[in-house]
Structure 1
């Protein structure tokens, strides 16, 4: 396992960790000044700015864009809305290419409003990914399927395990082209009894495109906005990374923390400082 001591160049900050409180250009400067090697911006930030200018800033600061967040939710109540959802993600892939992103993170979406058709939603997801895969190849940006914790199945993602994500990859990309893989986020998969086996399978097939860290607090107060800083919760982060790297992952370790009542209220430079310390000591 790689030693992260004094190796922040191997670490990335997802901009959500700082709460989206400042213009993206300022956030980029903070992350670079703190010594991190990578950044993962969100679409709403980039789309408020000028993607070409953001790309130039990132390149000038020698930052790696570890991922571009994220796809539009795919399942829809009507075919027209489904097509619109796919088209939005195709446009975002173009911006991901401009940014030089290593992957386009796909949070696939939950059930359409009023629907109870879980299998139908999952079929739409597979169909949408198949369509986006062609665009990903065109722009040279891989799709990273990010399974979310099952508590999000209704509203955010009907894709809930790494094993299922890998099944989709194998079905749609049997030749292992490098343009379809997974983003492993410990917040969503730490609980999975098949996690180690799934990580090994993902590595064997060169499917691991991104690795996200934070922690699961024992007494989580909000299922979306109360993630923990690494080391404050129950996840054995060092063990997960050991499995990830044993499986062949050599990319950056990306911090992604949603924390409305704690970390998003703190000074951004303080948050980055603590991220730095925890990455080097508990991850």
Structure 2
């Protein structure tokens, strides 16, 4: 099976955020010949939006996605409005950074709620309102389905099918999917839904590995090749639909990679991308 294009490797800044600040991460990507980067909003706020944009441009990096918008559901109309305004700001920041898309972690149940259908309706309505802002500005929104274990608190869009359904309902002009293998590798409909999404909806592709056993459901992601995911097969599936974007390494690893020398982490990302990507 074909190896991935090494020029398509991108680093989600969460992968080394415990060791380096954003300026160091940008410089590290450039030093290691990693051409893509996906920063998080809190890191950008700390460094400064304009300075982040300047450094990324100066080091000739592509912003493969901006993390993150979403978190639409809330218990009151006022809180939902505040969430929407924050999403407007996220769109503006993504535009300043020339990001390929704004990644959306859409939100789970509001505090104290058991109304899953209601939360999903709030996500639909929030997305619809955000699209009215993002579409004329030209910033694509990428729905990221999260593993069902996060349905209560982070995202109750948990499958590629649900993300495709939202694109069908709201129109896929400026709306698509961020395919994160940590969250979607298990899905029996993975290949069918990738075909359904097609090139137009496939906005981002995130890679890491699922460790077996896993020690933490949030902060124990594996480096490519250390777990059970057929990363290469999944990558070939998205590229068969015409996806030409980056392969973004996103690893939360409290037990290992966040305590490893960050230069070694980036070297390993490059090696494992070629071996297993």
TM-score range, shorter chain: over 0.9
What is the match of residue 155 of structure 1?
153
Instruction: Tell me the distance in 1 between the aligned counterparts of 2:21 and 2:229.
Output: 32
What is the match of residue 29 of structure 1?
27
What is the match of residue 276 of structure 2?
282
CA contact (8 A) 1:12 1:36 kept: yes
Aligned residue pair count: 277
Matched, 1:167 2:165: yes
Runs ≥4 residues deviating over 2 A? 1-4, 19-23
Pairwise CA distance, 1:170: 1.2
Find the residue that maps to 1:70 and give its secondary structure. Answer: strand
Find the residue that maps to 1:184 and give its secondary structure. Answer: strand
What is the match of residue 221 of structure 1?
215
Matched, 1:183 2:182: no
Q: Cα distance 1:92–1:270, how it changes in 2: closer, same or farther (>3 A)?
A: same
What is the match of residue 104 of structure 2?
106
Indicate which of 99, 113, 135 corresponds to 1:137: 135
Instruction: Tell me the distance in 2 between the aligned counterparts of 1:184 and 1:138.
Output: 24
Unpaired runs of 5+ residues, structure 2, are none
What is the match of residue 193 of structure 2?
198
Instruction: Tell me the distance in 1 between the aligned counterparts of 2:70 and 2:167.
Output: 19
Indicate which of 66, 79, 85 corresponds to 1:68: 66
Pairwise CA distance, 1:73: 1.0
CA contact (8 A) 1:214 1:230 kept: yes
Find the residue that maps to 2:265 and give its secondary structure. Answer: helix
Matched, 1:270 2:268: no
Pairwise CA distance, 1:190: 0.4
Instruction: Tell me the distance in 1 between the aligned counterparts of 2:179 and 2:274.
Output: 19
Pairwise CA distance, 1:72: 4.1
Unpaired runs of 5+ residues, structure 1, are none
Find the residue that maps to 1:102 and give its secondary structure. Answer: coil
Instruction: Tell me the distance in 1 between the aligned counterparts of 2:138 and 2:2.
Output: 28
Instruction: Tell me the distance in 2 between the aligned counterparts of 1:145 and 1:98.
Output: 20
CA contact (8 A) 2:109 2:119 kept: yes
Pairwise CA distance, 1:20: 4.0
Find the residue that maps to 2:45 and give its secondary structure. Answer: helix
What is the match of residue 117 of structure 1?
115
Find the residue that maps to 1:71 and give its secondary structure. Answer: strand
Pairwise CA distance, 1:3: 3.7
Instruction: Tell me the distance in 2 between the aligned counterparts of 1:221 and 1:134.
Output: 41
Pairwise CA distance, 1:136: 1.3
CA contact (8 A) 1:19 1:258 kept: no
Indicate which of 3, 8, 11 corresponds to 1:10: 8
Find the residue that maps to 1:121 and give its secondary structure. Answer: helix
Instruction: Tell me the distance in 1 between the aligned counterparts of 2:230 and 2:24.
Output: 33
**Which range moved further: 133-142 or 33-42?**
133-142
Deviations 1:13-63 (A, max 9, x none): 000011343221111000111101100000000111221111111111111
**RMSD across aligned positions (CA):** 1.2
**Which range moved further: 66-75 or 14-23?**
14-23
Instruction: Tell me the distance in 2 between the aligned counterparts of 1:58 and 1:101.
Output: 11
Instruction: Tell me the distance in 1 between the aligned counterparts of 2:85 and 2:125.
Output: 13
